[in-house]
Amino acid sequence: MKKNYRLIISMLLTCLLLFPTLALAETGSTNFSACYGGDLNSSDVTDFKNGFANQGWSQYIYNLKGTISNFKNAANSNIFYWSGHGLSDGTMSYYTDSGQYVSYTNGVKMHDQVGTTYISYNSTNGYYSDSVWNNKLNWVVLPVCNQLTTPANRNKWAMTMVAPHRVKGLMSYQTIAPDYPTDNNIAKKFIDLCFNSSGKRVLYAWLQANMYYGYANAGALYHSININDQLTSITDNSKYRQPYFNYMYETDQIYTIYDPFTYNNQSIMLASTGKDLTNIIPKNEVYDKVELDADNSVTINDDKSKFSDFSADIKNNETIIKDTIKYLKDKGILPNDAELYRHVTLSVEDVNELDINAPKNSRIAGHIIQFRHKFNNIPITSTNIGDYINVYIDSDGIYSLEKKWSTTNYNKARKSNKINSFIDKENAKNTALKHLKSRIDNCPDDIIANIELVYAKNNESDNSFVPAWEFYLANGSGYVHINAVTGEIMNSK
């Protein structure tokens, strides 16, 4: 028997030497928590709960009147979803234990409730904060406004993650968080990508889910070694005695007119120009309803091996676009009527949780490149209620491609009546602002960065496109669509 024990020990030591990463893996639990701390629509929390339950996960905490205790006790879950309202200093709305709502203006700084103070900071005894998130919790999703806006607030959230075996990644927003129904859709898309995409990478799933629904203001704060981790397959961070955080975020750029086959790269930054992109189209060339031949389902190819021959310098914002377009064209993936519309750069910065200054060492980590097309010279929206090709790129190349595309042949299109009059653009803008201010905390008057006339569907399942005023929100914070004929808000029910 002694020889057998020696043999077993020898084999284990050999495995550790040859495959050291085997000793550095954590297996996350299959428990989740989901809470609502706001006063509007809690259905995104319900959708999150149902999504994980349908995957066979166990519910730990589920409360549509989320309390501070819920927020802290989520430590016993693998993933925690908290939806509500918040300010850029970490203050959030919540409910008291008796069920009374406390608004964000009178709320508490939630990260301080969790724990943001070092209790050990040296190389001998290790680095630990007093965070109560010190059990099973690996992933935190906060669809709450402004939680990743400032370096100071990001540092506070980082402090809740300090120590071995603490939270690996926290996902939220740099500015405005989406409202119903977009937050529901993002939650469901996030879950789908976490479980069903090839990579199943949690942090990338968050950014991709937001971009799919038009939001380019999402971000993620995480331990650097956990960037590619999955929900339950996690790199053990206990080997790092001192925390090393990264912050990954999106920067949005819109291209007004772009011919991908001539590589014209004239572009504008929406957030800085406030330019009116309204098409100058004669009214008698616009139809109140257009049906185009298309499949409403989305084609997704996230098999990286299919794009293994793609090569580009991701650090160069100019050449990455040209190289991507050429590659897609040569592969026959990019239709002849495609125009580059949107380019989102994924940037990563180092975060020192004790430094209140801006993060250091900013570098490009990836790209999201989006194409759209037109019908009768009017763009079809590139959001989920339109057509698009979304290309997702990381340091290894293209890792996912989403495509929903209609046939825009004018003669084959089934057209209804030509429009004699539109809803006035300014009236539509006022309707959009009223809608936004009813759902967004401290909504600024200049939140609308650009206006464009597009064709869009009333919802994803519709077969018909209708003319709409598309309002693009500042800092990549999404879109609002107003039916240009009826004046009604679209895709909001």
Q: Are 419 and 412 in contact (CB under 8 A)?
A: no
pLDDT in tens, 331-370: 999 999 999 998 999 999 999 888 877 667 889 999 999 9
pLDDT in tens, 55-104: 999 999 999 999 999 999 999 999 999 999 999 999 999 999 999 999 99
Tokens found for residue 36: 């609502």
Cα separation, 342 vs 267, in Å, equals 10
The owner of tokens 């209140």 is: 356
Compute, in degrees rounded to 10, the torsion defined by CA atoms 67, 69, 74, 76. -150
Tokens found for residue 380: 């079809």
Q: What is the pLDDT at residue 179?
A: 84
Strands 299-301 and 397-404: antiparallel
Q: What is the pLDDT at residue 447?
A: 83
Compute, in degrees rounded to 10, the torsion defined by CA atoms 409, 411, 417, 423. 30
* Alpha helices for 331-422 (secondary structure H): none
Is the pTM here over 0.75, yes or no? yes
Cα separation, 306 vs 398, in Å, equals 9
Q: What is the pLDDT at residue 233?
A: 93
Give residue 28's Cα distance to chain centre: 22
Cα separation, 303 vs 170, in Å, equals 26
Q: What is the pLDDT at residue 472?
A: 84
Cα separation, 287 vs 173, in Å, equals 37
Name which of 439, 442, 222 is nearest 351 in CA terms. 222
The owner of tokens 């001192």 is: 242
Name which of 216, 371, 319, 341 is nearest 268 in CA terms. 341
Low-confidence ranges of the chain (pLDDT < 50): 1-3, 5, 7-23, 257-277, 280, 493
Q: What is the pLDDT at residue 295?
A: 64
Q: What is the pLDDT at residue 76?
A: 93
Q: What is the pLDDT at residue 24?
A: 52
Q: What is the pLDDT at residue 246?
A: 94
- Going from the N-terminus, what domains does the chain have, and what CATH number goes with each? 26-243 (3.40.50), 253-274+295-345+362-413 (3.30.310)
